[in-house]
A and B are shown apart, each in its own frame.
Chain A
Amino acid sequence: DTAVSQTPKYLVTQMGNDKSIKCEQNLGHDTMYWYKQDSKKFLKIMFSYNNKELIINETVPNRFSPKSPDKAHLNLHINSLELGDSAVYFCASRLGQGTEAFFGQGTRLTVV
């Protein structure tokens, strides 16, 4: 059983399109994250979300919006895709601040 699963694994799309990446965790965790990893492997936190609060990293363009239909899912919707959005996006979850995070396998987004 996959603890944190993301779909799709690969996504190739044209500039200007709108796309979504889905994330599901079956661990019963309250906190979920989205990260962007660039070509230099630098991991940047985008969003932190828990049952009570969505924390938006102010450096993230408002073209990016997380959507959580329920506690086990945190999807990432991206509007008007740009070339610079090309990266690997990781979803992660954890039970609480004193615990480890579990990561999905990543979604490689390529904007052409």
Chain B
Amino acid sequence: SQQGEEDPQALSIQEGENATMNCSYKTSINNLQWYRQNSGRGLVHLILIRSNEREKHSGRLRVTLDTSKKSSSLLITASRAADTASYFCATTNNAGNMLTFGGGTRLMVKP
């Protein structure tokens, strides 16, 4: 079964608005990562948050992690049309040998 599940599956917003995506997972993790995938391309790493961290920022990105609820959120502030893509969370298990992805959120930012 899939380790991570993302919510919502699809999100459509206007340029300038904030976009929030959530990820839930099932088992203990070493870290959680967020990736972006443009249509027809490979995945690109955005940000990594370790299991002992609660929040992390990178530019317009803010990631939170709640290990007690086994959930994470990705916030993109002041969205741009170029942010249109699919966003995936991925978890690393404690053994460190697996990197398991959620189903992804398809974000559309309308100009």
Q: Kindly identify, within residues 29 to 83 of chain B, every residue whose CB is under 8 Å from any CB belonging to chain A.
A: 30-31, 33, 35, 37, 40-45, 48, 50
B99 touching A103, Cβ below 8 Å: no
A97 touching B41, Cβ below 8 Å: no
Q: Kindly identify, within residues 77 to 105 of chain B, every residue whose CB is under 8 Å from any CB belonging to chain A.
A: 86, 88, 90, 92, 96-101, 103-104
A103 to B45, CA, bound (A): 9
Q: Which residues of B contact A41 (CB under 8 A)?
A: 37, 86, 103-104, 106
B98 touching A103, Cβ below 8 Å: no
Interface range for A = 20 to 34
A45 touching B98, Cβ below 8 Å: yes
Q: Which residues of A contact B40 (CB under 8 A)?
A: 106
Interface range for B = 20 to 34
A35 to B35, CA, bound (A): 14
Q: Which residues of B contact A31 (CB under 8 A)?
A: 97
A42 touching B103, Cβ below 8 Å: yes
Q: Which residues of B contact A97 (CB under 8 A)?
A: 30-31, 92, 96-97
Binds B, one of A63-71, A78-86, A88-96: A88-96
Q: Which residues of B contact A43 (CB under 8 A)?
A: 43, 88, 101, 104
The yes or no answer to A101 lying at the interface (CB within 8 A) is yes
A45 to B86, CA, bound (A): 18
Contacts from A to B (Cβ < 8 Å): 4, 31, 33, 35, 40-45, 48, 50, 53, 55, 90, 92, 94, 96-106
Contacts from B to A (Cβ < 8 Å): 2, 30-31, 33, 35, 37, 40-45, 48, 50, 86, 88, 90, 92, 96-101, 103-104, 106
15 A/B residue pairs, CB under 8 Å, sorted by A: A33-B99, A41-B104, A42-B104, A43-B101, A45-B101, A48-B97, A48-B99, A50-B97, A55-B97, A55-B98, A98-B31, A98-B96, A100-B33, A101-B33, A103-B44
